[in-house]
Structure 1
Amino acid sequence: MVTPSMSSQGHGMAGRLASAFINSRLTPLLMLVSILLGVGATVILPREEEPQITVPMADVFVAMPGASPQEVEQRVTYPMEKLIRELPGVEYVYSTSRPGESMVVVRFYVGTDPEDAIVQLYTKLYANLDRIPPGVSNPLVKARSIDDVPILALTLSSSSLEATELRRVAAQLDEQIKQVDDVAETTLIGGLRRELRVELDPSRLAAYSLSPAAVAQALAAHNTASRTGQIDGDLKSIPVKVDAFLHDPKELGQVVVAVRQGRPVYLSEVANIVEAGPDPATYVLHGTGPALESGHEAGLQQAVTISIAKRPGANAISVAEAVLAKMDKLKETYLPSGVELTVTRNYGETAAERSNELLYHMGIAVVSVTLLIWLALGRRESAVVAVAIPVTLALTLATFVLYDFTLNRVT
């Protein structure tokens, strides 16, 4: 005979469900499985400091060479803003007009499907190409997302290397970082790109009856590479390639730009060749104080930063650890003497700290509530709470895995 306290008669659905679990011998096993699922979920869930929020964004670039900012604003930016605002789901439109260029930033409402938003934007712009004024380029659309924010920043600094050499070292490391799993995009900030600049001398050009266009044509013909054929034999096929790319000032100066009276005219005779980079658009300086223990010299040094973004849904901690582990292996091979590698941003480390802090506070909350129930209602009721809350939290974390959520301090 079932006791009145254990009977399900007279109870609603919740009462019958509770009674079934109370009387079932599988309940302890289900509780244990729930706890194990929760522990497993905390291990495999991607950890982030902030939740994955779907906010579709896009940058639209339009060029109008030779136009002033006022002309760009009136003829390009305002009409394009008006056109984009007609799209459904657009929340904000920001614009910047610069000499010869217009940039419009489009942001859609939270929760809008990113693919649908970008397709609608493309369709709207390219359906109105007939409205583009003369001298204006077609729009270039670049989609943006929350995951474009870098999770890791590595800074190379040196007091002995030139800015061009420092950027070259950073570019070599950048190619290796791109091979790490779940790395979506990398960006080099600072330094100078290496360039060979040809400064033509008008008087010397006139002496040889040469025009700048003729010199440019000769340079284009010499600075190329092509496959000329292959050599077959002995069960082998060897491709033959002519590589005529120009790499240094001396080689560039030996380019023949014309023939006058049976004598070749070299580029060095009509121009000055300078090895330099373009005017820098960004500057990066890395400074350390005298108390730093790693042996750096105190003061500012020129630097180049490599920013690294992860793929959507990837674990920020795992990606950051994988990149740093690869950097430890590549230091001896790719870093010359006098170059220091410093981690100036590690989103994975902060995400781990926030996630661990969240789990710690959840544990404190469970213990605190259990103690309060014990003091107010008694030992039996507090035991029920001490079991029910962890099981509920564990099942919640297991559900996060099914819905591809991340472990963060918000959700």
Structure 2
Amino acid sequence: MIAYFAKHPTAANVIMFAILLLGVLSLPQLQRDTFPVTPTKNVEIRVSYPGASPQEVAQEICEPLEEALDSLSGISELQCDARENIAIANAEMSSGENIDSFTTDIQQQINSISVFPDRVEQISVTKLNRTATIASIAITGNMSAYDLYLYAQEVKQRFKNHPSIAQVSLKGFSSQEIEIRVSDWLLKQYDISISDLSRLVEQQSISLPAGLLTNQLEQANVRFDQKNTSEQAFKDSIIKSSEGGTQLLLGDIAIIQRRIYPS
């Protein structure tokens, strides 16, 4: 081959130009990505266990979960992280397996576990799809932090409505808080201590599991859900009531505002 091109240099030049031409023509069709798309191999399992310590989560959630998934073929690695109130497990799929079938098999194995405590509330099995950051947008304006948050939520929703955008995240705001302010003299006027007021507010804003209803066909979780999430719900909380039916509401003695502070 070398001797041929030495005797015919024109042929070597023609082949070189042909290769360059093919490269130029194929360049616009090459996929360009900051993070190349690779198929996911991980499935996340989250088990919510309210009121449990990490030790209880490890013993009562992680151990039964690992035992159930150990018999499942196609898992190359399994880890379970026991935290307060929740267990987070990650199952890595072996090469050559189908991720959808793998996820379905895990879901079926989790559903077959019958030794989870009654306080277990929510179990989710999710494929950990990889996403690439395309753009970051900064939003600012001469408005309060709460108004800026509401406007940013509107912008986020408009982006999510676009069919080509898979995920939109909002950052830069701390957790929302509902602030309740009561003056000292009002508490004294109605003979209410700050600890009593705090206890009454907590008692009327709770979300707890209340048991399980079962029959021959199905079972259903029963939950007492009266968690206050708005200013008006807190304002309607009953602080005192008389035999005549008169009620003192939290909104009658307190200033209640939702606050969001930029992080």
Q: TM-score, normalised by structure 2?
A: 0.62
Question: Contact 1:57 / 1:143 at 8 angstroms: preserved in 2?
Answer: yes
In structure 2, do the counterparts of structure 1 residues 117 and 199 end up closer, same or farther at CA, with 3 Å as the change threshold? farther
Question: Contact 1:167 / 1:193 at 8 angstroms: preserved in 2?
Answer: no
Equivalent residue, structure 1, for 2:129: 145
Equivalent residue, structure 2, for 1:172: 154
Q: CA deviation at 1:118?
A: 0.7
In structure 2, do the counterparts of structure 1 residues 254 and 112 end up closer, same or farther at CA, with 3 Å as the change threshold? closer
SS in structure 2 opposite 1:124?
A: helix
Question: Contact 1:164 / 1:191 at 8 angstroms: preserved in 2?
Answer: no
What is the aligned length?
213
Q: 2:89 aligns with which of 97, 104, 115?
A: 104
Structure-1 separation of matches of 2:234 and 2:89: 43
Tell whether 2:122 aligns with 1:134. no
* Correspondence list, 1:393-408, <5 A: none
Q: CA deviation at 1:214?
A: 8.4
* Correspondence list, 1:200-219, <5 A: 203-204=191-192
Equivalent residue, structure 1, for 2:251: 268
Q: 2:107 aligns with which of 110, 122, 125?
A: 122
Structure-2 separation of matches of 1:262 and 1:72: 46
Can you list the C-alpha shifts for 1:256-304, whole angstroms capped at 9, x where unaligned? 8476446553332355524335xx9xxxxxxxxxxxxxxxxxxxxx56x
Structure-2 separation of matches of 1:131 and 1:44: 54
SS in structure 2 opposite 1:120?
A: helix
Equivalent residue, structure 1, for 2:178: 196
Tell whether 2:25 aligns with 1:43. no
Q: CA deviation at 1:215?
A: 5.4
AA partner of residue 164 (structure 2): D
SS in structure 2 opposite 1:189?
A: coil
AA partner of residue 79 (structure 1): P
Percent of aligned pairs sharing the same letter: 17
Question: RMSD over aligned Cα, in angstroms?
Answer: 4.3
Q: CA deviation at 1:190?
A: 3.5
Question: Contact 2:177 / 2:258 at 8 angstroms: preserved in 1?
Answer: yes
SS in structure 1 opposite 2:80?
A: strand
Structure-1 separation of matches of 2:76 and 2:191: 59
AA partner of residue 265 (structure 1): L
Can you list the C-alpha shifts for 1:203-262, whole angstroms capped at 9, x where unaligned? 53999xx96588559xxxxxxxxxxxxxxxxxxxxxxxxxxxx9985x678648476446
SS in structure 1 opposite 2:39?
A: coil
Q: CA deviation at 1:119?
A: 0.7
AA partner of residue 154 (structure 2): Q
Question: Contact 2:204 / 2:237 at 8 angstroms: preserved in 1?
Answer: no
Asked which structure has the greater RCO (Cα within 8 Å, sep 6+), the reply is 1
Greater fraction helix? 1
Instruction: Specify every segment of 5 or more residues in structure 2 that has no aligned partner in the other structure, as ranges.
Output: 1-17, 207-227
Structure-2 separation of matches of 1:253 and 1:100: 26
* Correspondence list, 1:266-305, <5 A: 266-269=249-252, 271=254, 273-277=256-260
Q: CA deviation at 1:181?
A: 2.9
In structure 2, do the counterparts of structure 1 residues 156 and 163 end up closer, same or farther at CA, with 3 Å as the change threshold? farther
Can you list the C-alpha shifts for 1:47-100, whole angstroms capped at 9, x where unaligned? 324543323312111122111111111221133123223321212222221111
Structure-1 separation of matches of 2:107 and 2:204: 41
SS in structure 1 opposite 2:52?
A: coil
AA partner of residue 70 (structure 2): R
Structure-2 separation of matches of 1:183 and 1:101: 31
Equivalent residue, structure 1, for 2:70: 85
Structure-2 separation of matches of 1:52 and 1:264: 61
Equivalent residue, structure 1, for 2:56: 71
SS in structure 2 opposite 1:186?
A: coil
SS in structure 1 opposite 2:256?
A: strand
Can you list the C-alpha shifts for 1:360-405, whole angstroms capped at 9, x where unaligned? xxxxxxxxxxxxxxxxxxxxxxxxxxxxxxxxxxxxxxxxxxxxxx
In structure 2, do the counterparts of structure 1 residues 215 and 137 end up closer, same or farther at CA, with 3 Å as the change threshold? closer
AA partner of residue 204 (structure 1): I
Structure-1 separation of matches of 2:33 and 2:202: 55
Equivalent residue, structure 2, for 1:95: 80
Tell whether 2:165 aligns with 1:183. yes
Equivalent residue, structure 2, for 1:57: 42
SS in structure 1 opposite 2:40?
A: coil
SS in structure 1 opposite 2:167?
A: strand
Equivalent residue, structure 1, for 2:214: none
Q: TM-score, normalised by structure 1?
A: 0.42
